[in-house]
Amino acid sequence: MKSAWIPVIALLAACNGPDTDSDSDMTGMDDTVTLSGTIVDAATQDPIEGVEVCFDEPADIACITTDATGAASTELPMNVNIKVRMTKAGYPTVLTHGNIEEADIIGARTALLSDTAADAALTILGETRDTSKGYVLFAATTDLTLQTKVEGATVTSTATTGTQFYASAMGIPDTSLTSTSAAGAGAIVNVDPGTYEITFAHTDKACVDGYGWPVSGSDGTMELFVEAGVMTFVSGYCN
């Protein structure tokens, strides 16, 4: 169960933040950037073949599918907002948002949480998965790589339904926590579908939008899109 609720959703380019990915190459002379990476199972770390990665926005980008090594690649226009959804039988659909800047993202690694692992985590909370509801996974980190987690961040949303928790340092749901642990993550489960706002804050650090579409004039606040049966991932950068 370690890190069961901390999927590494890193198949997006820089989301309104600096490019800190050592595998990124500036492509300012081109009109497109390359987005490529590998998708694995969060528990086993085995590559997942047949994950369909589709772009709700921009709508004219064709879907791509991972091969036997879990790899996929596509070209995207620069400086556009994107909405990405990843689907595979046996795994909840994952939805996330970002902004493509002028950098290639090569070799990113994404971990998906299986239905079985998601159900196991919910049992700790005394919850069961309601397919008419949505799920929000959040992470407080320092940058787009999601590698350095931030402890002590609080996450609030305008959603009035669902159960929110932060993950312990071992990635286990802990309803006694009032802010992020060293894992920097948490979730809101069984949320009514709808459009909300989610805000990252910290007593000692300034938080800004990470993976998500920012709300104008509000540092650390992003739009939150919740769909039935879908896991929405959002992150805040706190430094």
* Integer Cα distance of 119 and 34 in angstroms: 35
**In this model, does residue 99 exceed pLDDT 50?**
yes
pLDDT at 14: 29
With the CA atoms of 123, 128, 134 and 139 taken in that order, what torsion angle do they form, in degrees rounded to the nearest 10? 0
pLDDT tens figures, 177-202:
999 999 999 999 999 999 999 999 99
Burial of 197 (0-12, 13-18, 19+ CB in 10 A): middle
Per-residue burial over 41-74, b = 16 or more CB atoms within 10 Å of its CB, e = otherwise = bbbeeebbeebebbbeeeeebeebebeeebebee
Structural domains of the chain ordered from first start: 32-238 (2.60.40.1120)
* Integer Cα distance of 95 and 97 in angstroms: 7
**In this model, does residue 111 exceed pLDDT 60?**
yes
Instruction: Please indicate whether residue 205 or residue 212 has the higher confidence score (pLDDT).
Output: 205
pLDDT at 30: 55
Instruction: Please indicate whether residue 82 or residue 46 has the higher confidence score (pLDDT).
Output: 46
pLDDT at 197: 96
What is the DSSP secondary-structure string of 212-225? Answer: SPBPTT-TTEEEEE
**In this model, does residue 16 exceed pLDDT 50?**
no
| Per-chain mean pLDDT for the chain | 83
Instruction: Please indicate whether residue 187 or residue 29 has the higher confidence score (pLDDT).
Output: 187
The answer to whether 168 touches 43, Cβ cutoff 8 Å, is no
Instruction: Give the DSSP H/E element, type plus range, for residue 116.
Output: helix 115-124
Q: How many CA atoms lie within 13 A of 97 on its CB side?
A: 16
**In this model, does residue 5 exceed pLDDT 80?**
no
Q: How many CA atoms lie within 13 A of 218 on its CB side?
A: 15
The answer to whether 111 touches 224, Cβ cutoff 8 Å, is no
Mean pLDDT check: name the lowest of 3-7, 142-146, 183-187.
3-7
Amino acid at 143: D
* Integer Cα distance of 161 and 36 in angstroms: 36
In this prediction, residues 5-12 reach a mean pLDDT of: 36
* Integer Cα distance of 136 and 140 in angstroms: 13
pTM score, whole prediction: 0.81
